[in-house]
Structure 1
Amino acid sequence: MIKLSTVNWANYWQQESESFITSSGEKELIWREKGLLGYSTEKYIPLRNGLYLEISDYQMYENIVLTSQYNDQNDDHFVVNFVVSGNVKTIHHGITDYVLETAGKNYIEFWDSRQETEYWQKGDRILKVRVGISLENLREMCQDSCHTLPSELQLLIKGKNVPPYYRQGENNINMNSALNQIINCPYQGFTRNFYLESKALELFALWLGENNNQEEFYQQSSLSKKDIIALEEVKNIMEKNLQNPPSLKELSRQLCINEYKLKSGFKELFNTTIFGYLHGKRMEYAHSLLTQKKMKVTDVAQMCGYASLPSFSKAFKKYFGVNPKFDRIKK
């Protein structure tokens, strides 16, 4: 295991950078680093309406521990981080003991001066997408509905002091679809700008939909606390049984909740159906096996519960926009 800090990081890398003016007149930036320890690519894509995207893609050839010190916080924008692939153990000193930032998760964080320690695994491809939106634009967009936003975002918009925080959530199926459409954007020029802008707004809207003020949701929801706990457990059960998931009847019996409430409650709480959620988890697992484990497509299809290769390939292409072949996914 190699231990690094931001002080000696540059000694191990050769960095190349390029920039160009997009069709909207903004400057897009790309940084590439390579060396004996691995490679990384960072893209900064400015968009209209106070939006920007950042896409980071890196892989280490050794187990790395990196300790970083940050003294500046971009308090003009609110940023949501989405993990597309990989698994990083991170300690946010003074805030969290450690968290696992894994594929299918998202997180927000805020503190002015902070120190982080990240643990990167050899051969693990880390792919993240960040969506940033200016607070000025958020104020205009929210207007009278500010009270429905997450408490941290309410404070930022109102210009009040924000205590240090870190909060993690889980990507839903629609988020994962938008993320993969951003990464595999097929367009150029103005069309690319409009496409990425629409997807960035969609991604941020989906995140807000999952993170609106929870107290307000509980007040308006017909679900009891017991129901919500049971419905949360449904997700755990499905994730552990991707190959042979239980039926709705079996879930109903196991969790002591009737089938109607099981279906309608899950849809209300998570904005997707139970088997829609299962499908998303199967696709994420398949993507991980193909990109990180480099397994054969036929084996992946079987491990994800598909009886035939054609049905798996069709589902995978519909979800990710590419065929389930390792070399095509990675590009």
Structure 2
Amino acid sequence: MVSVSQQASQDSSTGEEFVQTDPFDPLDVSWLHPSAIGQGTMRAIQLREGLKLEILDVPLGYEHSAAEPETLCDGLEFHFHIQGHHEDGLTRVGDHEFGIYGSGLHPKHCLYSPEQQSLEIWLYVQAEVLRSILADESGELPGGIAHWVGSEDERRYARVGKVTPPMERVLWEIVRCPWQGIPKRLFLEGKALELLGFMVEWEQSIQGQETVQKLPTGIRERLHYARELLLQNLHEPLTLAELARRSQLNECTLKQGFKQEFGMTVFDYLLDYRLEQAREMLERGAMQVAEVMTAVGLKNRSYFAAAFRQKFGQNPKQYQQQFWHFQAKS
């Protein structure tokens, strides 16, 4: 996906070969074939001091595992996965997920990624840049995100969430940015700040949810069992009454508790799961759209197309064609 100029240079500190991706921007460079990841590119764009984007595009990755020492991280990192998985000692981030990492100590760990194709966007923000953008007159960060900035002896904050359709739209706009030079830098900085805005909004909403009183352990166990029953019956979904009976909950507790525990109503969760399964099947390319729809337990093609478009921003057929077009270009 990332086009690079032909003028290659050598990084004297690492010995790796890199090229200037944008001939009008010396702060936009790509490392070719990162040996620790697989065959592909890592594009780094320094937007300004303390604000950087990186695009990892590895169409031919392989299983990778490496021991990493304890590290003091003085900046914040936001990892957005369009495709790809990794484990880093604090989180496991998969397809269509993002990871938030605050400043502070990253513990000794084993960095692992399976054999896979990867397309990821990483946003790096120094703590002082975050404060310059978001702090109030007294220099304090807004409630709900102040914990992103940790002390030197404090384990860094980390959390994983789902990439939403609006986030994914911005990620693809970054990957496909057609401009060079100053217009490109202005465009990408705007998109970087848009991603940061999504992260602030998501984190504040999560922190707000966690102030709600937690459910008793027994109720939570039954709700998780209800979720298992729900997903085991994709083609013939249980009614709320049957789901409540089999999980030994009353309907009111099931409805209210399920939304508190999983963030959605019972049937919104079922639809979301079906759509995620459909997305994965479309990406594998072995089935037609109608076959995918049937495989995830849906029967109305118009409804399937509308729900898929609302979640992923494209019709199922368009998504499949775009995905395989991306694979072919890679």
Cα distance, 1:168–1:195 mapped onto 2, change above 3 Å: closer
Among 281, 305, 316, the alignment partner of 2:297 is 305
Q: Residue deviations 1:286-314, cap 9 Å, x none?
A: 22112235432222111122213333233
How far apart are the structure 2 equivalents of 1:287 and 1:315? 12
Residues 286 and 301 in structure 1, CA contact (< 8 A), matched pair in contact too: yes
Cα distance, 1:303–1:16 mapped onto 2, change above 3 Å: farther
Give 1:57's aligned residue: 57
Residues 17 and 31 in structure 2, CA contact (< 8 A), matched pair in contact too: no
Listed as ranges, the matches of 1:103-182 within 5 Å are 103-107=95-99, 111=105, 114=108, 116-121=110-115, 124-136=116-128, 137=130, 140=135, 143=140, 154=147, 157=149, 159-163=151-155, 169-171=160-162, 175-182=163-170
Among 205, 209, 226, the alignment partner of 1:209 is 205
Query: Quick one: which amino acid aligns to residue 60 of structure 1?
Result: L
How far apart are the structure 2 equivalents of 1:51 and 1:247? 50
How far apart are the structure 2 equivalents of 1:131 and 1:72? 18
Q: How many residues align?
A: 294
SS in 2 for 1:184: helix
Residues 135 and 141 in structure 2, CA contact (< 8 A), matched pair in contact too: no
How far apart are the structure 1 equivalents of 2:23 and 2:205? 34
Residues 44 and 54 in structure 1, CA contact (< 8 A), matched pair in contact too: yes
How far apart are the structure 2 equivalents of 1:158 and 1:65? 29
Cα distance, 1:144–1:100 mapped onto 2, change above 3 Å: closer
TM-fit CA distance, 1:285: 1.7
TM-fit CA distance, 1:68: 5.9
Among 222, 233, 247, the alignment partner of 2:239 is 247
How far apart are the structure 1 equivalents of 2:34 and 2:49? 34
RMSD between superposed Cα atoms in Å: 4.2
Cα distance, 1:30–1:262 mapped onto 2, change above 3 Å: farther
**1:78 and 2:76 are equivalent in the alignment:** yes
TM-fit CA distance, 1:32: 4.8
Give 2:40's aligned residue: 40
How far apart are the structure 2 equivalents of 1:21 and 1:230? 59
Among 196, 218, 226, the alignment partner of 2:218 is 226
Residues 79 and 123 in structure 2, CA contact (< 8 A), matched pair in contact too: yes
TM-fit CA distance, 1:280: 2.4
Cα distance, 1:53–1:259 mapped onto 2, change above 3 Å: farther
Give 1:287's aligned residue: 279
Cα distance, 1:161–1:307 mapped onto 2, change above 3 Å: same
Give 2:3's aligned residue: none
TM-score (norm 2): 0.67
Give 2:21's aligned residue: 18
How far apart are the structure 2 equivalents of 1:232 and 1:305? 21
| Segment drifting more, 281-290 vs 192-201 | 192-201
Residues 21 and 27 in structure 1, CA contact (< 8 A), matched pair in contact too: no
Query: Quick one: which amino acid aligns to residue 18 of structure 1?
Result: T
Query: Quick one: which amino acid aligns to residue 262 of structure 1?
Result: L
Residues 107 and 167 in structure 1, CA contact (< 8 A), matched pair in contact too: yes
Residues 79 and 133 in structure 1, CA contact (< 8 A), matched pair in contact too: yes
TM-fit CA distance, 1:208: 4.7
TM-fit CA distance, 1:162: 1.6
Q: Residue deviations 1:211-245, cap 9 Å, x none?
A: x388x62xx42743433343344444444444443
Among 171, 184, 190, the alignment partner of 1:183 is 171
Residues 70 and 105 in structure 2, CA contact (< 8 A), matched pair in contact too: no
Give 2:6's aligned residue: none
Q: Residue deviations 1:156-186, cap 9 Å, x none?
A: 63534123x6856452xxx332332123338
Larger Rg computed on CA atoms: 2
How far apart are the structure 1 equivalents of 2:221 and 2:208? 18
TM-score (norm 1): 0.67
How far apart are the structure 2 equivalents of 1:33 and 1:180? 25
Percent identity over paired residues: 20
Give 1:6's aligned residue: none
Give 1:261's aligned residue: 253
Residues 68 and 115 in structure 1, CA contact (< 8 A), matched pair in contact too: yes
Give 1:7's aligned residue: none
SS in 2 for 1:251: helix
